[in-house]
Amino acid sequence: MLRTKRGFTLIELTIAMAIAGLIMGALGSVFYYLMVVPPEQSDRLTATNELRFALDWIQHDGVQAQEFTLGSDPYYGSFYSEGYPQPSWTSNVSYKYEEPEPPSPYGKLFRVETIDEGTPTEKTTNMTLSSHIVDFGDVSFAYDDDDQVTVNMTVILNPGTANEISETDTRYIEMRAAQ
């Protein structure tokens, strides 16, 4: 009687599994190197994202405001608005620098918002916008006669080292007209 059905031998299965293992190992290492970001690139992404986050908040506050007042150390300045976020409310948003706590070289940029809802108590909220501000001068606000606020900000990671990463950006903010 002739056998028409034939299966795989143990040697054939072993060879196929070895080849599949080599292919999976190569693909795994490729995916690992594609997914893992080198530390320098990770720091650059951190600096860029932190800079964008802080400037987006400042711009959001600025376009809602009707007035801007420059501050003095440790305050950079304040945006003031009436009728936002509710018609009867007033809002004051200030930006403040907090000195680094040793041994950290990093100071912080804070956003302090006070909202008067017309009640006896005001609501105040604090938010850290950036944790990598090395010096008070790394953030600057300027105000011109055209009601435009210019904000320049630098975020620095690993200051004073060979791996220092510095990202700088400037925003030009047009405030809304007084009602």
Instruction: Give the pLDDT confidence score for residue 87 in this predicted structure.
Output: 79
Instruction: Tell me how far apart the alpha carbons of residues 150 and 21 are, in angstroms, rounded to a whole number.
Output: 58
- What is the reported pLDDT for 54? 94
How does pLDDT run across 5-38, given as a tens digit for each residue? 677 788 888 999 999 999 999 998 888 877 776 7
**Which tokens hold the place of 129?**
């916008």
Residue 77 near residue 143 (C-beta atoms within 8 A): yes
Looking at residues 69-79, what average pLDDT do you find? Answer: 92
Return the exposure string of 102-116: e unless at least 16 CB atoms fall within 10 Å of the residue's CB, then b.
Answer: eeeebbbbbbebebe
Task: Compute the distance between CA of residue 151 and CA of residue 143 in angstroms, rounded to an integer.
Answer: 9
Per-residue pLDDT of 137-178, as tens digits, reads 999 999 887 779 999 999 998 888 888 889 999 999 998 876
What are the sequence ranges of the domains in the chain? 41-174
Predicted confidence band at 62 (pLDDT cuts at 50, 70, 90)?
A: very high
Please indicate whether residue 5 or residue 71 has the higher confidence score (pLDDT). Answer: 71
Q: How far apart are CA 138 and CA 155, in angstroms?
A: 7
The structure's pTM equals 0.75
pLDDT digits (tens, 9 = 90+) for 89-128: 888 999 999 998 888 888 999 999 998 887 777 788 899 9
Q: What is the pLDDT of residue 78?
A: 95
